Structure 1
Amino acid sequence: MSQFSAAASDAAFLSGDTLVVVVPKLRTAPIRLLCGREVELTPPVPVEVPLWVAAYLKKRDKCFIKLPEWLEPDNLQASLAEERDNPDRFSALPHHYVEIAKELLQIASDDLPEANKIRGLVADIEDVRRTKLQTGLRNLDADTTLVHLKHVSAMELHGIRNVAAKALDHMQKDAAAARQGGGTAAAAGGDASQTGADVRADNTGRLLRALQGRR
């Protein structure tokens, strides 16, 4: 398993602790989960449970899953519009929005009105956000020491973390070498600024090719 696949599996596992609302079809005594949360199922009273519990019950036809508010088509459409209208920031979706949407669409599409529309909107949001990440990464250079990633999701972070870190390391090393070489070039009457531009262009190209390979 690749590092990216392992990281994606970790993100999917962590998303299982997200609370969702279910309408149970069976009655149980109070159940204390390992996380310390106590759950009691009483039809047809809606109750919040971790996503992994909802998935367990749904696969056994023991509950209905209520659509999270942020996953409603109108709200997804608003999030998509916000993403497109604001190229410099990301909308405030849940940290595990990709994994949650994928899980719910896989196990509970019969409970989700307009499931196909939801699937398409989530995919569109992912595409817009991926493009914004790639555009932002084009602006990385050897002087970059801090990158703000507010509202970037877990899966998106996993997709860029290793690549961006390695690219920054290469940029800083190459820029240092370029400055050293530039001093020699300047003494000889050469053009040091062109060397720095070439270094940045080369590293940016490598970074974007690596990102595209992870799609």
Structure 2
Amino acid sequence: MALPSHHLTPQEVAFICESELITIVPRQRLGSLNLISIDTRPLVPPQRADVPLWLAVFLRKQKRCNIVPPDWMTVDNLERLVREESETSDFSKMPWRWMEVAEILLDTCAEDLISPSDIALHIRSLRELRQAKIRASMPEAINSAYIKINLGLMEICEVQPWVSKVMDGLRKIEGEAGSAAARKRREEGEDEDEDMEEEY
């Protein structure tokens, strides 16, 4: 029996994102962990270590570590990205899972971020600017075989159901137009055959 095919939901995308590695600064010693996806080395304060995001969040909630935000998630860098997005028609290059990582870190460890309210504001601005660009680029995407845009996984997840419906509608219209054209060609061919028969 085949599994039902469906688009990833935002919740599924966020769950997948939790396997991303992120840097932490342990507050307590912790032995190495043999996890399914990765074996962590012993955590020794104040040495930084890379662990899966879900583990970082778990340890942070227990106040056993501090999370080091990614380099791109600073106010200065986000301001630059917002400026780039607003000044050019191209999409800025963002990490594959930027939206999910930002949301999880803002929700779970805002205390570890410098100016979390500014970061949240810039993330929202980036999201709105990029969504506007996606909507503006749809006519070009529809009229071409493919379109190259730098989107993150969550952005693709959000736009995919809508784009799929639009593309299905266009295929249906093209199919109907093709059927009508074929019918017209058949009718014209039949008319020509009748004229030839009358001449003979």
Superposition TM-score, scaled by structure 2 size: 0.81
Matched with 1:148 is 148
**Residues 41-190 of structure 1: matches in 2 within 5 Å?**
41-87=43-89, 89-141=90-142, 143-149=143-149, 151-178=150-177, 181=180
Contact 1:32 1:39 in 2 (8 A): no
Q: State the structure with more CA Rg.
A: 2
Give % identity: 25
Matched with 2:28 is 26
Count of matched residue positions in the alignment of Structure 1 and Structure 2: 180
User: Aligned-pair distance for 1:51?
Assistant: 0.8
RMSD (CA atoms) = 2.2
For 2:144 and 2:163, locate their aligned partners in 1 and report how far apart those are by CA, in whole Å: 11
For 1:11 and 1:156, locate their aligned partners in 2 and report how far apart those are by CA, in whole Å: 10
Q: Which runs of 5+ in 2 are unaligned?
A: 1-5, 188-200
Contact 2:32 2:42 in 1 (8 A): yes
Contact 1:39 1:49 in 2 (8 A): no
Q: Deviations over 1:59-105 (max 9, x none)?
A: 11111111211001111111111212221x21121111111111111
Contact 2:140 2:147 in 1 (8 A): no
For 1:106 and 1:100, locate their aligned partners in 2 and report how far apart those are by CA, in whole Å: 10
Superposition TM-score, scaled by structure 1 size: 0.76
For 2:175 and 2:18, locate their aligned partners in 1 and report how far apart those are by CA, in whole Å: 44
Higher relative contact order (CA 8 A, sep 6+): 2
For 2:147 and 2:141, locate their aligned partners in 1 and report how far apart those are by CA, in whole Å: 9
Secondary structure of 1:104's counterpart equals: helix
For 1:140 and 1:129, locate their aligned partners in 2 and report how far apart those are by CA, in whole Å: 15
Contact 1:17 1:52 in 2 (8 A): yes
